[in-house]
Amino acid sequence: MRAIVAPILLLALGACEQQPAGEPVARARIDGKADPANPSPTPSSTATVASSVESACRSIIFEDASLTHCLATPSRHRVTMDLGPSGEAPYRSLTALARQRGSTGIAFAMNAGMFDDEGKPIGYFVENSERLQPLSTNDGEGNFHMKPNGVFYGSGGEWKVRTTEDFLANVTERPDFGTQSGPMLVINGKLHPEITQDGPSRLVRNAVGVDEQGRAHFVISNAPVSFGKLARFYRDELKVKNALYLDGNVSQLWNPATDRLDTGAPIGPIVVVERKGSE
């Protein structure tokens, strides 16, 4: 989401969507060919003809909403952040990332945090243990500043989601990766206090949460969904005590195992989940 100030916060959180309308997200094959018969392909638990690799993502229906749930487990996956080629401008799309890196070893990738007009993160961002943007404790309007916001970070196989305040107070060593976004959807098992049950704002949205087993749950809606419904999915179905909103309207997923490669409005930071043992 672009860091554009919204005029006023509405009770239903709808006005926190400060990003421009942009182009709608399009679901496409990795080879770039459109699939009009199935504009929103859903990952399956088994490999497709195009891939012999099991998908880490699956289709879920929650309260009549279609979601895609991608699971990263420390024993099988590595999590990294990728803004763009070293020393160059941000990718701004999953298509550019796919062209640069290829699909070998990639379990899935997703946009991962809010950004400015150039695609650079507006909050804390660490890639390959290098801090590219410091932690932001600024006040403001819009989703990012809907306190508490938070940080998804990790080193090795230990991944966590913390509120920004908790991160500032307790994390003293720089992690291998990290991205700051907001708002938090679930905080210590409770919904963010300003998220309503099912507010009027509806967008394609994505988020991340880490469960008590240390697994990272990435979720993207396949159709517009409210903040409340996405937050309840983390709390009630995934039993995740801390979950962080990543973005809305620009939310996109690349899942090589099912040839899903979303396109749409320009994005910023990207989280890449790699399969261990793949070169």
Whole-number Å distance between alpha carbons of 144 and 103: 31
Quick one: the chain helix, strand, coil %, rounded to 5? Answer: 15, 35, 55
As given in the structure block, the two tokens for residue 66 are 């279609």
Q: Kindly tell me if the per-residue pLDDT of 120 is higher than 80.
A: yes
Tell me which residue has tokens 């695609």: 119
> Maximum Cα–Cα distance for the chain, whole Å?
50
pLDDT at 193: 94
- Three-state DSSP state, 162: strand
Domain ranges of the chain: 58-207+226-275
Q: CA distances (Å), 28 to each of 34, 252, 256, in order?
A: 5, 11, 11
52 or 107, which is more confident:
107
pTM above 0.75, yes or no: yes
Helix (H), strand (E) counts: the chain: 3, 18
**pLDDT mean over 111-122:** 97
pLDDT at 176: 98
Instruction: Find out whether 106 and 254 touch, Cβ atoms under 8 Å.
Output: yes
**pLDDT mean over 59-74:** 97
